[in-house]
Structure 1
C-alpha cells in the first residue's frame, strides 16, 4: 500500500460517514423545532420577545379558540334565515352556530329606516331613496360576540370596538347607509377601520378600509357603507407615540345570602364601550352575578405591562381564600379586547369562643388596587361595599306606577335617537335639546355619561308629557330640520293634524 492511499482513507471516511451523520442531526433539529412550535403545551418565543406566562394564570374558557366543523348547507340556510327575519323593533341575543350574536332585523322600503341594538351604542341608518320605489329589502344589524371573529392583531395593534356585521352580506343600495358604533381609543386619529368582505360563517379576511369612507369622533366611529359586510376598529398609533385606550373596570358578584360562608368578586377589564359591558352582564347571568356599583375608567397604555390586581384590605370577619393577594392579567388579553376577568374568593372567619363575629360578617368591605406592571404608583383604587341579607337583591321592591305620559312611537324614537346621538362640534345635538328642556350644565354633563344620552333626553321629554307638535317645534327652533322632518311625517298621519299644523309643515318643506 502506498503512502498516498493511506493518507486518503481518513478524509474519505469522513465524507462517507460524517456528512450523513451531520445531515441526520440537522434533520432531527429541524423536526424538534417544528414540533415544539405546534405541539400542544409547547412554548414558542418568536425572536425571543414573548415572555412565559405563569402557570397560575389560567385563561378564561371563552378565550380558547373552538374548532367547529363547517356547517352544512341546510344549517347555513337556517342560520341566515333567522338573522334576517324581522324582529319588530326588538333586540335579540341568541347563540347560533356556536356564535353568540346580538341582532335586529326589519324590512325597509324607499322611505328608508333605521336599526338600533339596544344598550350597545350600535345603529344602522338607511336613508330615504336608498331602496328603489316599489321594492322592500330585509336588512339586519348584528353584534358579533364571538371573540374568534376579531382580526388577528400584532403587539402594536389594539382592538377598540366591537365586531359588527350588516346583512345580508354584499347587499348594496342606491345611497350609502351609515353604520355607527362606539370605540374606546383616547386619540380618534389613531383609530383605523377594518372590514372583512366575508359572510359570518366564512373565514374572515380583515383589511383596512379607506379613510374616506369612515370618520372617528371622540368615542364614535361612523362608516358610509357602499355594501354590507363586517366592520371593526383597530388602534394603530404612529411610531414614537404611545397608544392608549380607555378601559372600564366592572365588578360582579352574587347576592350575599344569610348563612352564606363564601363570596366571590369578579373584576372584568373591558373596553370602554356599551357593548363590552353588556357582554359581561350576559356572561354573568348563568352564575347569578350582578354589577356592583358604577364602572370605573382606567387609562391603559399599549406599552408593555401586564395588569396587576392587588388586594389591599378586607373588613373584619372575612379572609381571603386564595393563596395570593395579587393576580396578573396578560397585557395582550386586554390590549386585544379579550374581555378577561380575575376573581377573589372570600370566606367568613370562624368565630372564637371569646369573639362574636356575627356582627362583623353581615357586611364586607373590600379595597383593591389595579395598575400596569411597573406603574404601581399610578394605581386605581377599587372600593366595593357588599351587605348581607339585602332584600333588594332577593326580592325587588314594589315598583310604583309612574304617572301616565305620552310615549313616542318606537320607530320615531329610534330615528330621533340616531340623529341626535352623534357628537356635534357646534353642540346642536342632544345637548341643545336638553337645554331647551330646561336642564342645567351639570345635568347635561351627567347625561353625557349615560349609555345613550339622546335616548335619556327623549325619555325625559316623554315624562314631561310633551306632544309631537311640541317636539316638532323644539327641533325646528334648534334648526335641526332633519329631525323636525321625521316628526312631521308622523304628524301628518295623526288625527286632528290639520289647519296650523299643515301650514307649519309646508313652511318646513320649503326650508328643507
Structure 2
C-alpha cells in the first residue's frame, strides 16, 4: 500500500479561490434580484396612482376604448351635405344619379353622415362634405381624495360645477341631512338621502348633463345609446349609504325587449361596463331600477354614467321625439322647415328648444312621439299639400330618408333635416301644409303646419319651456316627501324580519321593487333604501296616501 500524498499548497489555494468566487456570484445575484424587484414594484405603484382606483370602485370587465371622434360646434343639417358612412349600410337601393339637395343657410353640415333623397323614380342622392369646426374634449376630473382635504375638494368641485352650462347643471352643499339636486326640465336628478354624507362633513355636490356627442360612449353596431351622459360628483367622495341618480331613457318596453347595460366613464376617458340590468349580484357596485321612462341608479360611487341597450327581438323599439320648427319671421322668399328626430328624453328636446330660440325659430306643431323599431328600415320624411299657387318646394324629390343606422345609434343628439319652400310672391304671408314622418314599413306621425309669416306667434307651450321650473337644489328634511319621524318609525318596524312576511320584503313587492331583494338585504336599513327609491321615483309629487294604503294592505296598522 502506498500512502496518500498530502495536497500541495497550490491545490488548497485553488479550492479556496473557487469557493470565494461562487460565494461572490451568489451575493451579486441576490443584490441584482433585489434591485430588479424593488424597481418593478416601484413602477407598479406609480401606475396605480394614475388610475381611477383611488376615485372610487371599479369593475375589471370589458373595458373599451373611448371613441375619438370630435363634435361639431353647430348642429347638423342632413339635407345640406353629408359624408359616406364607414360601416354597415342598411339601404335597400343602389346609389345612382345625383339630385341637387336643399341647402339651409342656418345650419352647417355634420361629418360622418349620409342622407338620401329620393325622387319619384326611386334614385338615391348621396353628397359628401367633411367641413366643420371641432370643440375641446371633456375637462379633466378632480383626482385628489376628498377625505385628505375636504375643504380644498369642496372649493374645487364648486368651481367645476359652476363652470358648466347652468341650464344643464345643478349643484349645492350637502351635509348629513341630505337633499335633492334637480336639473330643470331634463329628467335628471340626484337624490342624496339623509345619512349618505358622513356626520360632520359638508360636500359640494353637482349633477350635470353632457351634451357633446364626442362624450357619448362608443357602442357596437347592435347597440344603441338610450340615455344622455350624466355626471355626478364630487368624484371620490366617501358615502355611507347609496345616492340615487335618475336619468330619462328612450327605450320602449324595457322589461321584455331589451338587454340593458350601465356604463361608467373612468378618469382617463375610457368607458367600462358596470352592470347588466337584471344581472346584479353581490360584487356589482350599484343597482339599477328601470321604469318605463327613467332609470334610477343606486350607487355609492359618484361618476359619469350612461345607459346603453341591445335589442333582443325585432319588436324592440326606441322612442323618438319629433319636433318641427320654422322661423319666427321671414324676410326672404325662402322658408325653412326643420324636422328634428331626437331620442325621447326631456333634455334632448330642451336642448333643441334652447338652440332654436337662439336661432329665431319656433315650434310649428306639438312635438310627437314615434316608436322606431329595430327593423333596419329607414326613417322617411315627406311634405304634402303645399299650395302650389303660392309656394314651391326647392327639394326636387319625392321624400327624404335618414338611414336606419343613423337614427338607431343615437350618435348625434340633434339629428334633423330641412325642407325649404319658396314664396312665389313677397306678398304671400300664409303657409299651410302637412309633413309626414314614418319608419318604412313601420309607425308614422303627421304634422299639420299652419303659420302666418307676418305675425310673431308665440311658441307652443310645453312643460320643458315652463319658466317656473327653476328649482335646482333642495336641502335638508324639506327635500323629502316622507317626514323624518315617519321614516324612522317605518324603518324601525319593517327592517326586522316578521314571521308573517309583512316586513321590508313585502313592502318592496308591493312597490314593484322586488326584482333583486339581495341588494336591499345587504344594507343596514333595507326599508330606508326602499323608501329612498320611492322618493326618487315619485319626485316631486309623491302621494303619501298611496304609500299609507300599501302599508294598510300589508296589515301593518302600527
Q: TM-score, normalised by structure 2?
A: 0.56
Question: Paired residue for 1:312?
Answer: 384
The farther-off stretch of 151-160 and 206-215 is 206-215
C-alpha separation in 2, matches of 1:110 and 1:305: 52
- Secondary structure at the residue paired with 1:347? strand
Indicate which of 203, 206, 209 corresponds to 1:140. 206
- Secondary structure at the residue paired with 1:245? strand
Query: What is the CA deviation profile of residues 154-203 of structure 1, one whole-angstrom value per residue up to 9, with x for unaligned ones?
Result: 2221222111111122333000000111111112122524222424xx42
CA shift at 1:248, angstroms?
A: 1.0
Once the two structures are superposed, the pairs formed by residues 419-438 of structure 1 within 5 Å of their partners are none
C-alpha separation in 2, matches of 1:91 and 1:480: 43
Question: Paired residue for 2:373?
Answer: 301
Indicate which of 110, 117, 128 corresponds to 1:61. 110
Indicate which of 181, 198, 223 corresponds to 2:266. 198
Q: Is the 8 A contact 2:370 2:444 kept in 1?
A: no
Q: In structure 2, do the counterparts of structure 1 residues 227 and 135 end up closer, same or farther at CA, with 3 Å as the change threshold?
A: same
Question: Paired residue for 2:333?
Answer: 261
Question: Paired residue for 1:411?
Answer: 474
CA shift at 1:453, angstroms?
A: 9.3
Q: TM-score, normalised by structure 1?
A: 0.61
Indicate which of 105, 108, 127 corresponds to 2:174. 108
Unaligned runs of 5+ in 1: 1-40, 95-100, 352-357, 397-406, 429-451, 459-474, 482-510
Question: Paired residue for 1:234?
Answer: 308
- Secondary structure at the residue paired with 2:172? strand
Q: Is the 8 A contact 1:149 1:204 kept in 2?
A: no
Q: Is the 8 A contact 2:322 2:339 kept in 1?
A: yes
Question: Paired residue for 1:388?
Answer: 453
Are 2:408 and 1:343 aligned? Answer: no
Q: In structure 2, do the counterparts of structure 1 residues 84 and 50 end up closer, same or farther at CA, with 3 Å as the change threshold?
A: farther
C-alpha separation in 1, matches of 2:179 and 2:403: 43
C-alpha separation in 2, matches of 1:121 and 1:70: 24
- Secondary structure at the residue paired with 2:396? coil
Are 2:401 and 1:328 aligned? Answer: yes
**Number of residue pairs matched?**
369
Query: What is the CA deviation profile of residues 435-467 of structure 1, one whole-angstrom value per residue up to 9, with x for unaligned ones?
Result: xxxxxxxxxxxxxxxxx9965x69xxxxxxxxx
Question: Paired residue for 1:158?
Answer: 224
CA shift at 1:289, angstroms?
A: 1.4
Unaligned runs of 5+ in 2: 1-82, 114-131, 145-151, 281-286, 462-469, 484-507, 513-536, 550-556
Instruction: Give the number of the structure whose alpha-carbon radius of gyration is greater.
Output: 2
Q: In structure 2, do the counterparts of structure 1 residues 304 and 222 end up closer, same or farther at CA, with 3 Å as the change threshold?
A: same
Provide the alpha-carbon RMSD of the alignment.
Answer: 4.6
C-alpha separation in 2, matches of 1:132 and 1:327: 57
C-alpha separation in 2, matches of 1:409 and 1:187: 30
Query: What is the CA deviation profile of residues 360-387 of structure 1, one whole-angstrom value per residue up to 9, with x for unaligned ones?
Result: x321112122222355xx5422221111
CA shift at 1:60, angstroms?
A: 4.1
Q: Is the 8 A contact 1:123 1:418 kept in 2?
A: no
Which one scores higher on RCO, CA 8 angstroms, separation ≥ 6? 2
